[in-house]
Each structure stands twice: as C-alpha cells, then as structure tokens.
Amino acid sequence: MQRREFTQAVLMAGTAATGLLGASHAQAQATFKEGSDYLKLGRPAPVDAPADKVEVIEFFWYSCPHCNAFEPAFDAWAKRQPAHVVVKRAPVAFQDSFVPQQRLYYALEALGKVEEMHRKVFHAIHTERQRLATQDQIADWVAKQGVDRAKFLEAYNAFGVAGKARRATQLQDAYQVDGVPSLGIAGKYFTSGSLAQTLPRSLLVADHLIAQSRKG
C-alpha cells in the first residue's frame, strides 16, 4: 500500500499467503542485488535488539489488503526464525488517520493479546468489512471479542502506547518506508514486494539480508 496513493497494483492479493510455500530451490539460491531487490540505507535506522541479534521489522497497516494477504506467510516465516533473529511489527502512519490503528496494535500488545487478536483485526476489516478507524469503533469491536472495554481503553490511551506509536512512525521514516507491507532488516536494509518483485520473494531477500548481517 503506497504512502501517497495507498495502492500497490504490482502485487496480487492472494499471492502472499501461499506463494512462499511454492518458492523453488532455485529462488532460494538466487543472488539478490542491492538497488533492485533491496535497498541499503544511507543512514542506519535505530535498532533495539542486542548486538548479537538481527532485528527484522515488518511495516504494516491493518486496512491494507496486501498486508492482510501477506500476514499468514509472514507469521509462518517469523515463527521459523532462529534465536538470533528478533522479529517485530511496526504499524505505519502515513497520515494522522492511521494513528488509531497504530494504537490498536500497541494496546493489544500491552494486554498480551497480539497473538490472539492480530489476525482477527485483519479479518474484521477485510472479510467482515467492519470499519475500525476511530477509537470508539475500535473499542466497540474489541469489546465484542471478549476484551474488557475499559481495560482496553486504558491501554489504548496510555502514555506507553502513545510513545510506541510515535516510535513506529520514527522507524518508518528512518527506513524510508514508501509502502506496506515491507521489511526493515538490521537497521541497514529495506525490502518490499515491489522491490523483490513479489511479497513471498521479499521473505527470501530478508533471509539473505539476515545472513549477510550475521557475517558483519
């Protein structure tokens, strides 16, 4: 989903969920090129992971259909990563209207509900066609999922959640994110479906960059 137009016509919505499983051995052994498959940042982005870890950040937006399609493949990929890889998500805010969904993600994180609720948010927006764009809409929906509304709103409006939302926007800018879903690796590299040609291939590029970062 592009920063300005909020479209990414080069990607097929259904590809991300299944394409990675069909990636050929030849693809896995491919040589990935800086400037075409990925970008190297001119200035390093902030990294929170320890020095012996490689941090990977998925930039996403709940209302993005491509992020919705990519989520199952990304989640499966993230769960396969070894201990030296730290995988995080960062909800973007290309404009102020994105901030409520940023806070939604970090409120769920504060309540320990991301694993349970993250996929449900995508489903509500893209399958059930529910509008989750304001604090009240989000809180009403979360309450229907069995989460205490008052506790959710307390987390949603907490200083810590606001700070994490601002941090996500800072990371988005540091990685020069121009569309989602996309991946930042080790504070040094950036790739996306449009750069890597497909979203599944962006995960192969990420594997390559993780290995490259481990080598120093």
Beta strands in the chain (DSSP E): 39-40, 54-60, 85-91, 182-185, 189-192
pLDDT at 3: 57
- Six token digits for residue 148: 């205490």
Residue 26 in 3-state DSSP? Answer: helix
pLDDT at 85: 98
**Cα of 183 vs its chain's centroid, Å:** 7
Query: Model's pTM, two decimal places?
Result: 0.88
Q: Of 15, 7, 2, 57, whose CA–CA distance to 199 is shortest?
A: 15
CB atoms within 10 A of CB 146: 9
pLDDT at 215: 87
pLDDT at 30: 62
Burial class of 82 by CB neighbour count within 10 A (0 to 12, 13 to 18, 19+):
exposed
For residue 46, give the DSSP letter.
P
- Six token digits for residue 11: 């990607």
pLDDT tens by residue, the chain, 216 residues: 565 444 343 334 344 444 444 444 444 446 899 999 999 999 999 999 999 999 999 999 999 999 999 999 999 999 999 999 999 999 999 999 999 999 999 999 999 999 999 999 999 999 999 999 999 999 999 999 999 999 999 999 999 999 999 999 999 999 999 999 999 999 999 999 999 999 999 999 999 999 999 987
